[in-house]
Structure 1
């Protein structure tokens, strides 16, 4: 027999058991999720109430799990359902609170229902939907999911939703020049011009990894990160305490790019990594330098991934400008369950049209890849 338990803190779940199911991607690690909660970035007053799902057997062994949150808004998700919420409210159907199976503030594709086998994965998802229904939640959204989690959703009649990201994939390059050599003349020339502009401005860049990232480096990075939000008249989701915990608890995952001019740091870009991939996350600059954003966030990421023999660099959500800088369009997928039959039917019709449009969009983007092959 198995049973579903919902936990208001990831700390109530065994780290070793969770990580054994989660694999190596840093965003799914117990320590990463716990850092959000321990620093108050999610939890009381944030609109992100942890309700992590765990499927156990009679002996208490963890068979499957899912990072799960009860949400009272749709911020920090990167799969936008504001229009669904508005239409729902207009129809007299309450949309919030809803349930979200996702990594907070992280549009990174990967495992979402962690399980030792597909049967346990399916059992957990079905039990979570039943729990959402019993709790009066409007919906369940499992974002940026892997194929096994998507298949479990398909079996339960959940709706698939597609989106597009841009990822660089290794072709066995030995260095950045090898990468450029694969590109058409015009695209290669453009990237070299961008890099020269940064160099001509007197800017140099360096990588810091793991425990080489000190307290002063984290403090400087957060200044840059907060500046990005301030320029957009927004409030950052994460805090210095969170990033310091990240550096302390998952140092092997942290890569910090620091841009300097005349010996002074002026910009920073934070990326995370595992044994296969590098993930672009956050950036900011204290002064404007033409093309520095492209250099710190994209060119340096690809150069690092080549140097460390990683298979891919995920540049983050959205941004067609990444295509010209060597990243391929990649389709991501989420699955959605809505409790109200009227809303479920309307969303299903909408997503059928949207999926067709996304498929055509990906095909069009692929025709404009910058590579000669």
Structure 2
């Protein structure tokens, strides 16, 4: 048994940037102190928004050895692993599903580390101990359940071995198969699919649209303001509200982690008309936010997918995660992949029911992924 001390803090500022990033690092952008602090300081994440920070800080012999972003949730918005039916079942049986304890990156369905450690050699023993300590803590605070979302596959497997139920879901990611450049990428397509993609890019150009890709440090204050207007307009059209994230969130990121930001701007007659914001680390580009003030045919695909692929090939990034959902990505060269989450429910009867549901869902998603992979545009090989 490890001699651990677990501390739960209701603001990441109580930990501080140096201590948090000592465990979380500064590569994967979404567990960086700067990203999580921007969510809290801007008010995007707060108790009155249903996201009460409850971050885990792990000490051994008074030394910080790990951190884990945690939230007490009073709803299931902004998670992208949908458990509304579980909450409904609780309600129908006169039980409370909320609050629940959640380890995730708010509004960010991007796979990555959740338990971040100073020394990776501690991971196996530490995860085994936390698999009992975190459910016990969930009970202590009156939470119905514990959820760890979008873990890396190997970590999700360990949580499952330690008794947490495992759930899978589909996403669509791009991988560099040593294409060299965009023409090399297209050369891997079947002739018909290659012509279709080239047509989409040609139509964008024929509409008089030009695109530029800017690193975070190159984006001006006016361009940030334009991006935020696009973000709000597009959210309003799609969801009836201006988005989960206030302007202050993006302003803080621009100042504190510009090296992780990549913006694609589209213009017509030198007037900006659309913008897409991506994050990056050493190996991966993450497509996150998109918006436009006018609709143009195929512009979304160009700004959010093709410019991102070109950026990866130019910068030596091997992986492009363009975000959740979007089966239309498959025919554009994004491979169907599995995402993973883990779940613990205090109520034994509900836990058994959820386990049966997950077993059936697992079979369905496995079949779907096999069928979806047949939709890829690449040439058939022996």
Q: Aligning the two structures, in what range does the TM-score lie when normalised by the shorter sequence? A: over 0.9
Correspondent of 1:74 among 63, 73, 76 = 76
1:313 has 2:320 as partner: yes
Root-mean-square deviation (CA, aligned residues, Å) is: 1.2
Query: Map of 1:1-373 to 2, 5 A cutoff?
Result: 1-23=3-25, 24-58=27-61, 60-115=62-117, 116=119, 117-118=122-123, 119-232=125-238, 233-372=240-379, 373=381
Shift in Å at residue 148 of structure 1?
4.4
Are the structure 2 counterparts of residues 235 and 96 from structure 1 closer, same or farther at C-alpha, using a change threshold of 3 Å? farther
Shift in Å at residue 366 of structure 1?
1.3
Instruction: For 2:204 and 2:252, locate their aligned partners in 1 and report how far apart those are by CA, in whole Å.
Output: 32
In structure 2, list runs of 5 or more residues that go unmatched. Answer: none
Contact 2:66–2:115, Cα closer than 8 Å, also in 1: yes
Shift in Å at residue 319 of structure 1?
0.8
Shift in Å at residue 357 of structure 1?
0.7
Shift in Å at residue 55 of structure 1?
1.3
Instruction: For 1:352 and 1:196, locate their aligned partners in 2 and report how far apart those are by CA, in whole Å.
Output: 45
Shift in Å at residue 173 of structure 1?
2.1
Give me the TM-score of the superposition, normalised by structure 2: 0.95
Question: Secondary structure of 1:143's match?
Answer: strand
Instruction: For 1:304 and 1:335, locate their aligned partners in 2 and report how far apart those are by CA, in whole Å.
Output: 33
Shift in Å at residue 198 of structure 1?
0.7
Contact 1:225–1:283, Cα closer than 8 Å, also in 2: yes
Give the number of aligned pairs. 372
Question: Secondary structure of 2:67's match?
Answer: strand
In structure 1, list runs of 5 or more residues that go unmatched. Answer: none
Instruction: For 1:190 and 1:61, locate their aligned partners in 2 and report how far apart those are by CA, in whole Å.
Output: 57
Shift in Å at residue 28 of structure 1?
1.0
Following TM superposition, the consecutive aligned residue runs of length 4 or more in structure 1 with deviations greater than 6 angstroms are none
Contact 1:54–1:124, Cα closer than 8 Å, also in 2: no
Instruction: For 1:307 and 1:53, locate their aligned partners in 2 and report how far apart those are by CA, in whole Å.
Output: 38
Question: Secondary structure of 1:207's match?
Answer: strand
Contact 2:127–2:159, Cα closer than 8 Å, also in 1: no
Question: Secondary structure of 1:165's match?
Answer: strand
Instruction: For 1:62 and 1:363, locate their aligned partners in 2 and report how far apart those are by CA, in whole Å.
Output: 43
Contact 2:131–2:163, Cα closer than 8 Å, also in 1: no
Contact 1:64–1:121, Cα closer than 8 Å, also in 2: no
String of CA shifts for 1:26-84, please: whole Å, max 9, x gaps. Answer: 011111101100110001311000000111112x2112221000000100000000011
